[in-house]
Structure 1
Amino acid sequence: MAKTKPLTNTEVKQAKGKEKVYKLSDGDGLQLRVKPNGNKSWLLDYYKPYTKKRTSIGLGGYPAISLADARKLKSKFRELLAKDIDPKEYKDDHERIQLEAVSNTFKHIATNWFEIKKTQVSENYGIDLWRSLENHLFPELGKLPISKVTAPKVIEVIKPLAAKGSLETVKRFCQRLNEIMTYSVNTGLIHANPLSGLRAAFQKPVKENMPTISPEELPELMKDLSYASIKLVTHLLIEWQLHTMVRPSEAAGAAWREINLENKVWEIPADQMKKKRGHNVPLTEQTIELLNRLKPISGHREHIFPGDRNPRTHLNEQTANMALKRMGYENRLVAHGLRALASTTLNQQGFDGDLIEAALAHVDKNEVRRAYNRADYLERRRVMMGWWSEYIELAKQGKVGVSNATLKIVG
């Protein structure tokens, strides 16, 4: 068989369109295809590995791909064939990987991760989490392919926060970034998490407990609260949180539909809780009285503590904090510290520590004990919560330290 004579640049350039499509061969499977309209393109004919089925792959159009370029591509693909790799499959995989790299940006992957994450946290926490990504990470990292997110780039983004001393914020970003990158690994988008050691690049925040007061200072707080120049709904919110021992966001977001007066229980749904686990709070005589005072104000609305500007929603979870600050408790007590005040008092009075942890909605890591506790603790917690409400009433009267011994009931 005569060997195919290689094409010349002149032959390729001067090839004209005919009535039908035709091909000019350069040898070793490389073909110049010429269409009737004069358009020219390169093809490589080859036999597929293993099946030996004849096929072809497009190498690009002329003159964008010159004769020399086409020959280089032919040599590259012939090398693949020598290794039993199908050039067309190789090209398609390479283009797919490139397309995924461009489309799988950090923001796109973070969005997919958040769809799962938000089912595991409370609604308010989820909103804050997403807002933090939008404000601090997406502007610099959002359009970056996930495969291009590296520790040095992320450190440059977070460094200004660390310089300002916002070390707790830096810590949270490191945690969230690692969760997003781990999600990327688990979904096959990257092979390893390049941010696994990110925390080590920044100074650790000094853990600070939420400011709170001692049980002995509770009478002073109740007296200050009674004279405080704050709105009635805010006043009742602080008392409600104190009695129920819930978190500020859970108290502010309380809804009338969650109140079960027949069983005297506040049934907080899972989506309102930090750990995404429903939480039942026994209602005492005092908390029911608070509800009675609120009924004329918000009983016709969805939320127990309606917002000032928009009563169709609820008070902001920071409302109680701002009120305590105006009352002179800045750096002494925050709304979250009311939980610590309750915990300290109940522990000092000898109540069962597991009961107190259950009242605070802290999740027991022991699953077997947790299941038992949830089934067994409600009635025992009802006794403890009743004692705590009575204790608060005594504090209002300035009698704590005199009659509280008669109230002591060990759970």
Structure 2
Amino acid sequence: MAKLTAREVSTAKPREKAYRLGDGGNLYLHVRSSGARSWEFRYVKPSTGKPTFTGLGSFPDLSLAEARQKATELRRIVADGIDPQLVKIEQKAKLASEQANTFKAVAELWIDMKQNRITPKTLEGNWRKLELYAFPLLGSIPITKITAPMAIAALKPLEDKGLLETVKRTAQLMNEVMTYAVNAGLIHSNPLSGIREVFKKAKVTHMKALKPEELSELVQAIARANMAITTKCLIEWQLHTMTRPIEAAAATWDEIDVEQKLWIIPAHRMKARREHVIPLSPQCMAILETIRPVSGHREFIFPSIRDPKKHTDSESINKALGRIGFHGRTTAHGLRSLASTTLNEQGFNPDVIEAALSHSDKNAIRKAYNRTTYLERRRPLMDWWSKRIEEASYGTVSITGYRSLKAV
């Protein structure tokens, strides 16, 4: 069979019925009665042994030279006993999967998987970072096409602004999405695993916290401050119980076991996603009695002033501390550090202190042991810490109602 020329292809005229012009090597130009021309490849289906045609593309979108190249590729495939039409179906399915599994679409699957593993506030913050810094450049790109240079380009403006901690956190989140894609079988490996090494490192700044000897200044400033009773009770509650700001702010009355003097925080409210039981000192019980007339008939112990059906903002302690002169010196989270430092200096068992702070033990055996035995060992520790806070309030009246003699 003589090879077709480019001129023959371009000048092929329509007839009453469709016809084909052969180019050799099982390649044909299909000319329809409408005048439309397209390339076809003839082969024998491996499954049936019957001859059939498969389309390669229309002319002139696909030139004669390009059609011949495609035909050569298909001859190799047929020689290996593979049906070109099945290859085409697989390619279409793969393309459809790629188009559906964009970086943002996979991120939505990843964030849904995280729902019961981290707190709603953390979940919201993580998603917001991806919305602001990852999705604008990467959101619509198929997960299979994401590369390290793309991710670096998305984060580079943040580095230029000096937002190095944001760069670090966003890169970590992007890596989590890509690792999820690997585990879900969408990609073979994570191309972003090393991108954090490209950026400048943020200077490590330790959490602001007061020294043990500054406890008196803090407690007396709280006692003298003109602030809402709910806020004042909340600050002392978090200080006495050594909990995280959101754990304290969202405390509910049904979490309190008055008879056993325990605060039982359910797993879904804890950072480590495990129940945390806190022995309540007499001072803690006094705080509850103080706030009971305000919120005893409501769900939350520390209700929001604007909407009592909701709990107060966990940031309210930070705002209050700033107003009474502790801005830049400590934070709500820093109250935990103050407790930890004081208790360690007093020689309390470090494991008991860590259990009181609800820090997870990485040793599985020790972790199980701690959960079963440390509750009773924490009672005297919590009582000592509350007594220390009470003593620090000498010369004032703390919210618990303990009045001490004026220091001379």
- Return the letter of the residue paired with 1:340: S
SS at match of 1:177: helix
Identify which of 110, 115, 118 aligns with 2:112. 115
Residues 1:366 and 2:358 are matched in the alignment: no
Instruction: Determine if contact 2:208/2:334 at 8 Å carries over to the other structure.
Output: yes
Structure 1 pair 155–38 and aligned structure 2 pair: CA distance change class (3 A): closer
Unaligned runs of 5+ in 1: 400-411
Once the two structures are superposed, residues 230-280 of structure 1 have per-residue CA deviations (whole angstroms, 9 ceiling, x without a partner) of 221111111010011011111112122222223322121222111222211
User: Identity of counterpart residues, as a percentage?
Assistant: 47
> Could you tell me how far apart the structure 1 residues matched to 2:261 and 2:288 are?
12
Report the equivalent of 2:222: 225
Report the equivalent of 1:251: 248
Unaligned runs of 5+ in 2: 397-408
Report the equivalent of 1:294: 291
Q: Give how far 1:211 is off.
A: 1.1
- Return the letter of the residue paired with 1:378: L
Structure 1 pair 65–209 and aligned structure 2 pair: CA distance change class (3 A): closer
- Return the letter of the residue paired with 1:385: M
Instruction: Determine if contact 1:49/1:86 at 8 Å carries over to the other structure.
Output: yes
> Could you tell me how far apart the structure 1 residues matched to 2:21 and 2:174 are?
55
SS at match of 1:58: strand
Report the equivalent of 2:324: 327
Instruction: Determine if contact 1:4/1:25 at 8 Å carries over to the other structure.
Output: no
Structure 1 pair 30–286 and aligned structure 2 pair: CA distance change class (3 A): same
Question: Mapping of 1:143-292 within 5 angstroms?
Answer: 143-292=140-289
Question: Mapping of 1:58-97 within 5 angstroms?
Answer: 58-60=55-57, 72-97=69-94
Structure 1 pair 69–219 and aligned structure 2 pair: CA distance change class (3 A): closer
Q: Give how far 1:329 is off.
A: 0.6
Instruction: Determine if contact 1:265/1:282 at 8 Å carries over to the other structure.
Output: yes
Q: What TM-score results when the alignment is normalised by the length of structure 1?
A: 0.86
Q: Give how far 1:61 is off.
A: 5.4
Report the equivalent of 2:122: 125
Give the length in aligned residue pairs: 393
Q: Give how far 1:337 is off.
A: 0.8
SS at match of 2:13: helix
RMSD: 2.8
Q: Give how far 1:54 is off.
A: 4.5
Identify which of 41, 54, 57 aligns with 1:44. 41
Q: Give how far 1:355 is off.
A: 0.6
Identify which of 132, 137, 160 aligns with 1:135. 132
> Could you tell me how far apart the structure 2 residues matched to 1:159 and 1:72 are?
42
Q: Give how far 1:312 is off.
A: 2.2
SS at match of 1:351: coil
Q: Give how far 1:328 is off.
A: 0.6
- Return the letter of the residue paired with 2:123: G
Q: Give how far 1:153 is off.
A: 2.4
Report the equivalent of 2:101: 104
Once the two structures are superposed, residues 354-409 of structure 1 have per-residue CA deviations (whole angstroms, 9 ceiling, x without a partner) of 1100111110000111011101111111221122112211111259xxxxxxxxxx
Once the two structures are superposed, residues 8-60 of structure 1 have per-residue CA deviations (whole angstroms, 9 ceiling, x without a partner) of 5489532235xxxx764636555677889887765433223476454442334
> Could you tell me how far apart the structure 1 residues matched to 2:45 and 2:72 are?
16
> Could you tell me how far apart the structure 2 residues matched to 1:125 and 1:214 are?
29
Report the equivalent of 1:409: none
> Could you tell me how far apart the structure 2 residues matched to 1:161 and 1:249 are?
29
Report the equivalent of 1:403: none
- Return the letter of the residue paired with 1:15: R
SS at match of 2:140: coil
- Return the letter of the residue paired with 2:272: K
Instruction: Determine if contact 2:304/2:311 at 8 Å carries over to the other structure.
Output: yes
- Return the letter of the residue paired with 1:182: T
Q: Give how far 1:167 is off.
A: 2.2
SS at match of 2:277: strand
Once the two structures are superposed, residues 126-177 of structure 1 have per-residue CA deviations (whole angstroms, 9 ceiling, x without a partner) of 1211122112222222112223322222222222322333322222122212
- Return the letter of the residue paired with 2:165: E
Structure 1 pair 103–316 and aligned structure 2 pair: CA distance change class (3 A): same
Q: Tell me which moved more, 390-399 or 114-123.
A: 390-399
Q: What TM-score results when the alignment is normalised by the length of structure 2?
A: 0.86
Instruction: Determine if contact 2:102/2:142 at 8 Å carries over to the other structure.
Output: yes
Instruction: Determine if contact 2:38/2:59 at 8 Å carries over to the other structure.
Output: yes
> Could you tell me how far apart the structure 2 residues matched to 1:302 and 1:98 are?
52
> Could you tell me how far apart the structure 1 residues matched to 2:330 and 2:242 are?
15
SS at match of 1:189: coil
Instruction: Determine if contact 1:23/1:31 at 8 Å carries over to the other structure.
Output: no
- Return the letter of the residue paired with 1:218: L
